[in-house]
Structure formats: structure tokens, C-alpha cells
Structure 1
Amino acid sequence: MFTRLLLLLILLGALGHGPVALAHDSRPAYLELNETAPGRYEVLWRTPINAGMRLPVVLKFPDDTRNITAPSLKEFTGLLLERRWIDAGRTGLAGKRIEFVGLQATITDVLVRAQVLDGTHTTALVHPSRPWVEIAASQGIAAVAAAYLMHGFEHIMYGTDHLLFVLGLMLMVRDLWMLLKTITAFTLAHSITLAAATLGYVHVPGPPLEAAIALSIMFVGVEVLRSWRGETSLTLRQPWLVAFAFGLVHGLGFASGLASLGLPSGDIPVALLFFNLGVEAGQLSFVALMLLLVRGFDLLEIHWPQPARMVPAYVVGSVGAFWTIDRIVAMIAGTG
């Protein structure tokens, strides 16, 4: 029998990524550099605003770089946008280093995209552990794909609410074959809406979407308890149907992570494919880790009392309910 207490421990570890109500506040920053004349660049620097706080990171260009225009700042809902034009000299920025001062004190990544006059561009993902980027003279598609693949992987691993929903599915579905069908249905559904939203066919405002995702977690928590009490429902008989339905909602949440980068049109096909592959890699890694750890505890023949086995279901449902209420209140307050 699956050891539910083990899953609770993993759940609590996942919740340790950050504040409960801020499941998506690890949004990346985005730096875009477009060469408009030899050595001259238009700079677009977009940073997230989390809980009213600006990202404490400052751009530092090479010493021989000068501003042509002063930085222009505009604040939007959830982000700060800075524009300026710079002169990097006759050789431009190729081979030079741009630093992100203060990034090492955050959990925020930076996606950097630089395009030169001939239309070629480079893409890189900068992590807080290495808060600088060296602009390459040229870059193959493999490096661009790798940047979006890594961003997708990190997005799901920091997306506590998405992982909590997957955990709820694992608690609810005891048959391994049915679990495979259920996870596959969830994957197919969120891949559909991820593509549709990224390509601009579907748009859902962030606050209602976040509330709907939280509601899906609460719903799964209730169904887990129902299954353990020996009751039945359409969800328990055909869990893949519910996984597919809620997967459509979660896919829109994944799309928000990709759309937050403000993708240039030329990057959309590669970004969509490899971001989605990164999300899948993270999700499957999480599922595999859960199954391996549960199997390990079973081999050790550790048995837990019945009340302890019920705790994870109550945690999933309670956290989902808290997030639902919190996000609905925030949504109402934002429109008031």
C-alpha cells in the first residue's frame, strides 16, 4: 500500500519553495537588446513586481557603454518596464559581459535575447548563482532551445500549485495504469491550452485563472478523501476526464510563464516546443521521484496508522481552499 505520510513530507518540502499565496512569484526578468545601428542598441528591461516590491537588480553594461537616451520607466500590473538606447562602441556588445547586480540575492532568472543588425540573435538564461551574461557573436538553435527548455523545467518545479495538483492525482488514483492515463490526459490538455494561449488564440486574465487553479487543487483534495472512505463518483471512476478538464486550466497558467517573457515572434515556435518539453520533464521528474520514494518506503515495510494516512488529503484540500479564498479576495480587491 502507498505510504501517504511520505507524500505529505514531500508536499511540505514543495511548499517550502516560498510563501503559500505566492506560488508564481518566481517569474523571470527579461532583457532584450536590438542593434539598430552599428554598436547602438535599443534596450528593453522588464522585471516582475512581487507583492508591490520591485526586483532589486541593476543592469551594469561594459564600462565603454554610454546611454544615448536616459532610461524611461513605466510601471504596469505586476511588472516594471525600462527602455533606453545605448552606444557600445564600434565593436558592439559581442563578446562583452553584462552584469545583473543584486540578482544573486533573489530567486529570479533572467532571459536575455540579443539581436544584431544582420538579424541573427542569441538567447541565454541567467541564474542568480551566475549573475552575468556574455553576449555571443552568434548562436545555434540548440542553445536557444536549451534556454527555453530550462525555463520550462524551472517553471514547473517552482510552480507549487501545479505540483500540488499532480500530487493530488497520485493520491487519488491507486492503479498504476489508470495513473498513467490520468497523467497523460493532464499533459495533453495543458499542452493544448499552452499552445493556444501562447499563439494568441485564448486569453484569460491572471487573477481568475489563479483562483481556478487553486479551486482544482481543493477539488482533488475532496475527491482523495472520498476515495479513501470507499465512496465513488465520476471523478474516481474516470479520473482522466477530470485531469483533462483541469489540465486545460493549468495549461493557461503555464502559458502565463512563457508569455511573461514577451516573446519576439521569431522565437515563438522554438520557445513553445521546448518550454513545453521542459514543463513535461519537470512534471515527470516529480512523478518519478514520488513513485521511487514510495516504493522505497514500501520495501522498508514501514506502516503508518490510519489517521496519519489521511493527513496528506486534508493538507491538499486545505491548502487548495486557502489559495482559492486568498486569490478570490485578491481578485475582488483588485477590481474594487
Structure 2
Amino acid sequence: MNTRRFPAWRTLILLLLCCICQPACAHKPSDSYLLLRVDGSHVAGQWDIALRDLDDAIGLDGDGDGQLTWDELRVRHGAIAAYAMARLQLSAAGQPCRLAPQGQQVDRHTDGAYTVLRFTATCAAPLQALHIGYRAFADIDAQHKGLLRVEYGDTVRTAILGADQPEQTIELVHPHPWREFQTYLTHGAWHIWIGYDHILFLLSLLLPAVLVRSGQRWQATPALRPALADVVKTVTAFTAAHSITLSAAAMGAATLPSRWVESAIAASVIAAALNNVVPLVQGRRWLLACGFGLLHGFGFAGVLADLGLPAGARALALAGFNLGVEIGQLAIVALFVPLAYYLRASPWYPRLALHGGSLAIALLAAVWLTERAFDIPLFKALL
């Protein structure tokens, strides 16, 4: 082995393993959805929390059979409310607001079942600014995020809460449109980085970009320019396609059932990965990126629907979210492509990185497809 190449070889393998193995534990990172409606000194809240996260934190599966029943949830309603209310603080002008749980239901998101905890908060005086402290699951999952949406009148503010940013102060005034743009820019960049299915689809398209097909074999591209041209065409096609459907869905012009969308996205990852093993679409991967990018746009729109678009700045917020997605995507490209180009001539790259990595991606996506299409927690059952 060429020892000068070993550090880069190890870096690429670690990068692929991080992208493939991390989502194997859960195809979507842990999120909750916190909605606060402000009216004077009163706040009406709704907090959607994944049952799988609550099961890890306080134990919901009473008989340990891996299946949660309504009876098991009902007897733990008090424990769920106590856990949640102890990890959420609302205050105004330095004075804490009094929280009171109001009831619970069960709802489904694209990644599984959630408890819907409704509560009220009473503050000392009409709110000019609301301070939120959020520490849910901080002790068991450092990657957990709370997607916050605050509504007051016709104004909507959003934020992301988590271990790295457990507190936010929301000014209850009409925000400047450019602040909304910056907020949604951050949301877009964050959600491409936690969208493992989107990342693996993109990597499936990028893996062969530094190779050329000669007969039945892959060979290293002789120059950087053709590789960059292929990357630019592929990424541009993917960007244009998912921007079209994201914008259409966000504006209400086109919608699809979330289960269909999430299942189709998993299928697109399988198709892109297997195309690297048995190339059916050669030289025109940008067409594959464009066609499947339309599906991925509906997936991004589902995230945006959870956040909502602010009245009065919808177009600017949508543009910010779109741009944030592209920034996150380009960061992946900038990290992966130079390393892949450097290692393209290594004899193991076609076999291990391209074929092995693509097969691993396809296998993982097949698990996702089964889970999403048939509502079967397959990976958890395999564990």
C-alpha cells in the first residue's frame, strides 16, 4: 500500500461510514415540534414529541415487547407531562410563566408516532418578548433538536433549539423581512445536514464522478476538468429540480402524501446507488439527479411545512430556505469531491468506495423503504 495515500484513504472511508452507519440507527435524527400561540399574557402550547425518544428517556413499553399500546401510553401520561414540563421554561421580563398540561393525543409524523402534549402558560403581564428554555433529551441525545414555531397575530417566528442552543428570546414584534431570510437560511442548511436520505442520494451521484466507464470497468478520470463538469451538471440538475417542487409545495400549488414521498425518496436512493454497481444510466447522471430531485423537493417541503412560512415574508423566507439547502449541499460536495478525486486512481476505490459503498447505501435505503412504505420498524426489530 502507498503509505502517502493512507491518511486520505482512511479519511474517505470514515466519511462514508459516518454517512452510512449513523443513519442506520435511526433514519431521521431526533426532533420534536413545539408550537406556541401567544395572546396577551397567555400562551397556548402544543408539543409533538416522538414516542421512541420518550421510551428511551422514561420507559413507555411496559411489557418490553417492542410495541407501544394505547393502554401503555395512557398509564404514562402523567410521567410524560412531568418529564416535558420539567424541561421547558417560558418567561417574560425575567418572570417565569406558569405551565399547566392540558391533555395528550397521539399523532403520526413521517418518521413514526408522536405524543401531542397540549399545555397553557400564564405570564404576569402581556408579552413583549418571550424567553424559551429547552432541555428535552439533552442528557441522552446531544443531537436532539426542538423545532420552535411562535405565532402571535399574523406573525410567525421560528427557531431551532437544542443542546448547543438551549435558550431563545423571541421578540414579539414584526421582524424585519431580512431577519426572516437569515432564519430560514439557517433552517435550510441544518436540514440538509440531518437529511441522511438526501445526503446518501447525493453521495451516490458523486461517487462515480471521478471515474469514467471503459467497457465493463471503471477507470480514474484523467483530468480534474471532466470530473468537475460532471459534478456541476449533476448538482445543478438536482438543485433545480428539488427547488421547483419545494417551492410549488410550499406555496400550496402541489402536494403529495408524506408516506408516498418518503417511500419514493428511499427508492430513489436505492436506484442511484445500484446504478453505480450495474450502470444503466451512464454519462447522464444529471438526468437521474433531475428526475429524482423532483421527489426530494417534496421531502424538503415536508420539513418546511412543520416550520411554516411567515406571513408577509413568505417569498423571502422560501428563498432563504432554498439557499440554505444549497449551501449545506455544496458543503458536502466541497468536502467529498476533492478527497475522492485525490484517491480516484487507488485500485481499491472502484471496488471498495464505489461498489462497496453503493451496495451499503442501497441496503440501508431498502430498510428505510420497508419501514416507510409498510410502517414496519424493521431496523429496530433486527436489533
TM-score (norm 1): 0.80
Partner of 1:97: 131
Alignment of 1:233-252 (within 5 A): 233=280, 235-252=281-298
AA of the residue aligned to 2:90:
F
Quote the Cα distance in structure 2 between the aligned partners of 1:124 and 1:260.
12
> Does the residue aligned with 1:134 lie in a helix, a strand or coil?
strand
Q: Which amino acid aligns with 1:98?
A: I
| Corresponding position of 1:196 | 248
Residue 164 of structure 1 is matched in structure 2 by 200
Residue pairs, 1:241-280, within 5 angstroms: 241-263=287-309, 265-266=311-312, 268-280=314-326
- Cross-structure match for 2:79: none
Aligned length: 317
Q: CA deviation at 1:283?
A: 0.7
Structure 1 distance, partners of 2:319, 2:291, is 22
Residues 42-95 of structure 1, C-alpha deviations (whole Å, 9 max, x = no match)? x2333242548479643222355246x86243332234444455432235252x
Counterpart residue number, 1:131: 166
Q: Which residue of 2 aligns with 1:214?
A: 266
Contact 2:309 2:318 in 1 (8 A): no
SS of residue paired to 1:272: helix
Shift of 1:204: 1.9
Counterpart-to-counterpart distance in 2, 1:306 and 1:179: 17
In the alignment, which of 298, 304, 328 is matched to residue 348 of structure 2?
A: 304
Q: Which letter maps to 2:89?
A: K
Q: Are the aligned partners of 2:181 and 2:320 in contact in 1 as well (CA < 8 Å)?
A: yes
Other-structure match for 2:34:
30
In 2, Cα distance between the equivalents of 1:143 and 1:281?
18
Which digits, 9 at most, give the CA deviation of each residue in 1:175-203, with x for residues without a partner? Answer: 42122111111111111111111122222
Decide whether the 8 Å contact of 1:25 with 1:50 is kept in 2.
no
Inter-partner Cα distance in structure 1 for 2:137 and 2:314: 26
| Paired AA for residue 271 in structure 1 | A
- Change in Cα spacing, 1:145 to 1:126, as seen in structure 2 (3 Å) is farther
Distance 2:53 2:96 in 1: 34
Q: Which residue of 2 aligns with 1:230?
A: none
Task: Give, in whole Å, the separation in 2 of the partners of 1:32 and 1:264.
Answer: 14
1:140-165 Cα offsets, whole Å, 9 max, x none, are: 33332222221211111111111111
Alpha carbon RMSD of aligned pairs, Å? Answer: 3.3
Partner of 2:363: 318
Greater RCO, 1 or 2 (C-alpha within 8 Å, sep 6+): 1
Which moves more between the two structures, 97-106 or 241-250? 97-106
Contact 1:30–1:261 at 8 Å: present in 2 too? no
Letter in 2 for 1:205: P
Aligned to 1:65: 97
Q: Which residue of 1 aligns with 2:106?
A: 75
User: Helix, strand or coil: the match of 2:254?
Assistant: coil
Unaligned residue ranges in structure 1 (runs of 5+): 228-232
The Cα of 1:296 is off from its aligned counterpart by: 4.7
* Contact residue 99 and residue 133 of structure 1 kept, 8 A: yes
Per the TM alignment, residue 115 of structure 1 is displaced from its structure 2 partner at its CA by: 5.0
Amino-acid identity (%):
28
